[in-house]
């Protein structure tokens, strides 16, 4: 199955970020169609029919989320675009932000119109300076054409859009920490419920979606929800962007139909393992998802259900390729250093647990491993994930356990060689 470029269509054109170029491709016709010819219920119906699932990691159906908001309820309501893109291995949103920001902005305006929202924030990670400039320029262009601001296209609907820069914290990608950060508070997750749909930005109803989720919306309105759904599998509609990195022949961002066989994606599109080496393992959805061994990839297709059936997750669509030379102990040491550094510290099991996990792997990697260290990971892991406010605990426990279970011999070899095991 080949690539199918909808969001990425013409993205490599040097003018792809400009509004004139975007409109020459049919950009903003979906907005005109939605506002001119469709009721809010009709738009919502198409988004539900499209089977579009949130592209930020959790895969929650966008149409259902949009349906939580009551457009006619009094008082301000907000839209948030999650452009934090913090998950290691993920670099697909940056591509949209920098090279095709209007497709996301058009999707946001349609979303705001459908849910009757007053203002929107694009929460963009601090390190994304060039994407920020591109998005700010695109917002100014959209105001100039009358797609943002008061009485958009004479519809009586008004919507303002702002960028908001994060300061580079991974946890600020978690939607409630992100909301706190927009409000000027420390970026720490909130207890849910209440969910953002009831109590979001400034305590008001808020919808949060990922960059790619919004970018899928214009094509759904132009071609219909069924058209989009039929591109993918019965449960995972449409196309999906994957960023593939590591020991791969052709790293990059690819858009493929959901349900594309793994083999077609990896070997035909991405060229397989770099330099003719053997494949050792694949992390399919970003560093927080369990690692898979080559035999587990047999028959896998690139969609939420198939990857889950193999014991991992599609996550943020960040595929990391590991060849035969990869030292799994060294890699886990690097991953856990990241999570220990990024825990926001609010929940004790996560704050202490992420440091413990890093301490253990650090000593194994540096020749101080102890007998029983692998059991200690298992034991500690049981008490972290279920006892935290957000999914950060699971984000480092689940991949760790997959590493030590699937590559146990490698970890044991390090421990056996170590000073402390030798007594």
Ligand X SMILES: Cc1cc2nc3c(=O)[nH]c(=O)nc-3n(C[C@H](O)[C@H](O)[C@H](O)COP(=O)(O)O)c2cc1C
In angstroms, the CA 124 to CA 139 distance is 14
Contact call for residue 285 and ligand X (CB under 6 A): no
Contacts of 408 (CB under 8 A, 6+ apart): 374
First to last CA, the chain: 55
Cα separation, 334 vs 216, in Å, equals 34
By CB under 6 A, name the one of 25, 133, 391, 401 that touches ligand X.
391
Size of the site for ligand X (CB under 6 A): 23
Alpha-carbon span 339 to 324, nearest angstrom: 25
Sole window of 50-58, 134-142, 194-202, 226-234 interacting with ligand X (rule: CB under 6 A) = 50-58
Report the Cα 105 to chain-centroid distance in Å. Answer: 17
Taking residue 61's Cβ as centre, other Cβ atoms within 10 Å add up to 17
Between helix 392-406 and helix 348-365 the angle, nearest 10°, is 30
Least Å distance between CB 197 and ligand X?
12
Q: How far is the CB of 156 from ligand X (least distance, A)?
A: 28
> Can residue 373 be called a binding residue for ligand X (CB under 6 A)?
no
384 belongs to the binding site for ligand X (CB under 6 A) = no
CA distances from 112 to 109, 124, 178 (A): 5, 19, 19
User: Among residues 50, 79, 84, 329, which is the contact residue for ligand X, using CB under 6 A?
Assistant: 84
Q: Return the number of the residue (210 or 301) whose C-beta is nearest ligand X.
A: 210
Cβ closer to ligand X: 6 or 374? 6
Regarding 175 and contact with ligand X (CB under 6 A), the answer is yes
| Of 96, 171, 297, 331, the one binding ligand X by CB under 6 A | 171
> Which backbone phi and psi does 256 adopt, to 5 degrees?
-135, 155
Complete DSSP assignment for 309-348: HTTS--TTSEEEEEETT--HHHHHHHHHHHHHHH--S-SH
54 lies in the site for ligand X, by CB under 6 A: yes
| Identified binder of ligand X from the candidate list 27, 63, 86, 284, rule CB under 6 A | 86
Min dist. Cβ of residue 317 to ligand X (A) = 11
Q: Residues with Cβ < 8 Å from 133, sequence gap 6 or more?
A: none
Q: Which of 27, 166, 173, 290 binds ligand X (CB under 6 A)?
A: 173
Stretch that binds ligand X, among 18-26, 166-174, 219-227, 289-297 (CB under 6 A): 166-174
Min dist CB 16 to ligand X, Å, is 22
We find the least distance from the C-beta atom of residue 121 to ligand X, in angstroms, to be 12
- Count Cβ atoms below 10 Å from residue 249 Cβ, excluding itself: 15
238 binds ligand X (CB under 6 A): no
Helices and strands, number each (H, E), in the chain: 17, 10
d(CA 307, CA 285): 9
Q: Among 27, 56, 187, 205, which residue interacts with ligand X (rule: CB under 6 A)?
A: 56
Contact segment (CB under 6 A) with ligand X among 49-57, 132-140, 190-198, 368-376 equals 49-57
The site string for ligand X over 393-412 (x = CB under 6 A, - otherwise) reads: --x-----------------
Residues at the site binding ligand X, with contacts judged by CB under 6 A: 54-58, 60, 82, 84-87, 171, 173-175, 208-210, 213, 390-392, 395
């Amino acid at each position: 199955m080949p690539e199918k470029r909808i969001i990425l269509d013409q993205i490599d054109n040097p003018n792809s970020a400009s509004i004139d170029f975007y409109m020459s491709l049919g950009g903003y016709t979906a907005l005109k169609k939605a506002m001119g010819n469709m009721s809010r219920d009709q738009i919502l119906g198409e988004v539900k029919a499209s089977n579009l699932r949130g592209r930020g990691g959790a895969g929650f159906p966008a149409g259902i989320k949009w349906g939580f908001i009551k457009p006619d309820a009094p008082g301000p309501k907000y839209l948030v675009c999650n452009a934090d893109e913090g998950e290691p291995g993920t670099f697909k949103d940056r591509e949209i932000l920098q090279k095709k920001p209007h497709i996301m902005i058009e999707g946001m305006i349609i979303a705001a119109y459908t849910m009757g929202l007053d203002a929107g924030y694009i929460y963009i990670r601090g390190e994304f300076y060039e994407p920020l400039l591109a998005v700010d320029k695109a917002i100014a262009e959209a105001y100039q054409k009358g797609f943002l601001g008061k009485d958009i296209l004479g519809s009586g609907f008004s919507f303002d859009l702002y960028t908001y820069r994060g300061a580079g914290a991974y946890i600020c990608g978690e939607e409630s920490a992100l909301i706190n950060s927009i409000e000027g508070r420390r970026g720490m997750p909130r207890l849910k419920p209440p969910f953002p749909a009831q109590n979001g930005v400034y305590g008001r109803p808020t919808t949060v979606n990922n960059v790619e989720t919004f970018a899928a919306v214009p094509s759904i309105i132009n071609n219909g929800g069924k058209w989009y759904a039929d591109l993918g599998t019965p449960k995972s509609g449409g196309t999906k962007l994957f960023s593939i990195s590591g020991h791969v022949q052709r790293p990059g961002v690819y858009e493929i139909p959901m349900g594309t066989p793994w083999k077609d994606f990896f070997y035909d599109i991405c060229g397989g393992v770099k330099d003719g080496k053997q494949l050792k393992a694949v992390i399919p959805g970003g560093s927080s998802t369990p690692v898979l061994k080559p035999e587990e990839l047999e028959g896998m297709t690139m969609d939420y259900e198939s990857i889950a059936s193999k014991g991992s997750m599609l996550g943020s669509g960040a595929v990391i390729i590991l060849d035969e030379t990869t030292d799994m102990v060294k890699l886990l040491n690097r991953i856990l250093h990241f999570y220990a550094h990024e825990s926001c510290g609010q929940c004790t099991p996560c704050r202490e647990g992420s440091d413990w996990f890093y301490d253990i792997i650090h000593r194994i990697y540096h020749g101080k491993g102890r007998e029983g260290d692998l059991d200690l990971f298992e034991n500690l892991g049981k008490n972290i994930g279920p006892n935290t406010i957000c999914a950060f605990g699971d984000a480092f426990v689940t991949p760790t356990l997959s590493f030590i279970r699937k590559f146990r011999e490698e970890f044991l070899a390090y421990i056996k060689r170590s000073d402390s095991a030798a007594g």
